[in-house]
Structure 1
Amino acid sequence: MLLKNLRPADEYDRFASQALEPWDVLFVTRIRQIARDMQPGVLVDIGTATVVVPVRLAADPVFKDWRFIGLDLDADMLEGGRPRIEALGLSDVIELKVGDALDLPFADNSLAMAVGRATLHHLPDKVKSLTEMYRVLQPGGIGLVHDMRRDVAPALLEKFTQMRAAVGYPPTHVEEKVTLEEARQLVRDAGLEHCTAVTSPGFGLGALGFEILIKKPLLA
């Protein structure tokens, strides 16, 4: 299952749109970079909460003719994002769906992209979440996970703590995150090392976390 956020949707939305802004930009920029070389298709944002990421993507000209699904276990979170979708006239291209990251409600080989930001650390079976992501990708599809490292540099962790405090959020629970090497082990345990890269920037705000990039083979 995907664990529900402990904060109400309106509080989380304020946190996501303010404190997480720099990481959202990094995440969306990375998705945009990847999508430039792809044919339009369906992209699901797993653990989307108040749908900040799909809205950013759907409003970008690069994603003309793409369709988006915001998936979350918490229906209240999804409803918290609906006014943003409607205000921007994106209801025809963004679908909201209640669903579980460990049992994705999509057919095998059906999605062009599956992405998740700051979702992996919430999941009780992280290996299953990766195999599920791989399952639903069409051949040639891309899975992208960004999450925070437990072994983050102390100075960056302090900066993140200050950003959370500025919008009334408590410090993050670093103990629930995974290290860079543990992320690589998750990929090995999922049997995806043949098509997956796990990386982390050496500097900048991106060094707060890591990236798991899955490229499903064309002949999968």
Structure 2
Amino acid sequence: MLLKNLRPADEYDRFASQALEPWDVLFVARIRQLARDMAPGALVDIGTATAVVPVRLAADPVFTDWRFVGLDLDETMLNGGRPRIAELGLESVIELKVGDAQNLPFADGSLAMAVSRATLHHLPDKLKSLTEMYRVLQPGGIGLVHDMRRDVSPALLEKFTQMRAAVGYPPTHVEEKVTLDEARALVAEAGLADCSAVTSPGIGLGALGFEILIRKPLPA
């Protein structure tokens, strides 16, 4: 079972738009970079909360003719994002769906991209979430996971704590995160080492976390 956010949707939305803004920008930019040379298809944002990421992507010209699904186990979070989607006239482009990252409600090979930010650390079965992400990707599809590292530098962690405090959020629970080496071990255990890369920037705000990039091979 995916753990639900401990704060109401409106509070989370304020937190995401203020404290998480730099990481949202990095995440969206990375998705955009990866999708630039892909044919339009379907993209799921796993653990979407109030659908901040799908809304940003849908407004980007790179994603003309793409379709988006914001997936979250917590329907109250999805309901928090629906007014924004309606206000922007994106109901035909973005679908919000209740679902579990560990048992994705999509057919095998049905999605061009599957992305997830700050969700992996919540999941009891992280390994299953990675194999599920791979399963739903079409050949040539891309999976992208960004999450926070447990082994983040103390200075960067303190900066993040201050950003959270500025919008009334308590310090993050670092102990529930995974280290960079643990992320690499998860990918290997999932049998995805040959088609994946696990990296983390050495400097900047991106160094707070790591990236798992999965590229599903095309048929031989």
Q: TM-score, normalised by structure 2?
A: 0.99
Structure 2 equivalent of residue 131 of structure 1? 131
Please list, as runs of the form range in 1=range in 2, the aligned pairs for 1:156-167 lying within 5 A after superposition. 156-167=156-167
1:200 aligns with 2:200: yes
1: CA distance, partners of 2:217 / 2:122: 28
In the TM superposition, residue 37 of structure 1 has moved relative to its aligned partner by: 1.1
**Deviating more after overlay: 208-217 vs 80-89:** 80-89
| Deviations 1:61-103 (CA, angstroms, capped at 9, x unpaired) | 1100000000000000000000111111111100000000000
Mapping 1:3-152, distance limit 5 Å? 3-152=3-152
- CA apart distance, 1:3: 1.2
Does residue 185 in structure 1 map to residue 165 in structure 2?
no
- Counterpart amino acid of 1:138? Q
Give the Cα separation in 2 of the matches to 1:59 and 1:82.
Answer: 16
Distance 1:75 1:85 in 2: 15
The code of the aligned residue for 2:14 comes to R
- For 2:132 and 2:169, how far apart are their aligned partners in 1? 31
Q: Secondary structure at the match of 1:212?
A: strand
Residue 172 (structure 2) aligns with? 172
**Secondary structure of the residue that 2:50 maps to in structure 1?**
coil
SS of 1:62's equivalent in the other structure is helix
CA-based RMSD? 0.7
Identity within the alignment, %: 86
Give, in whole Å, the separation in 2 of the partners of 1:166 and 1:62. 33
In 1, Cα distance between equivalents of 2:217 and 2:92 = 30
Residues in 1 aligned to 2:197 and 2:135: alpha-carbon distance in whole angstroms: 17
TM-score relative to the length of structure 1: 0.99
SS at match of 1:6: coil
Gaps of 5+ in 1: none
- CA displacement 1:21-56 (0-9 Å, x = unmatched): 000000000000000010000000000000000000
SS of 2:102's partner is coil
SS in 1 for 2:201: coil
Q: How many residues align?
A: 220
Question: 1:83 and 1:187 mapped to 2: Cα distance?
Answer: 37
Deviation sequence 1:121-152 (CA, Å, 0-9, x none)? 00000000000000000000000000000000
Gaps of 5+ in 2: none
SS at structure 1 position matched to 2:145: strand
SS in 2 for 1:194: helix
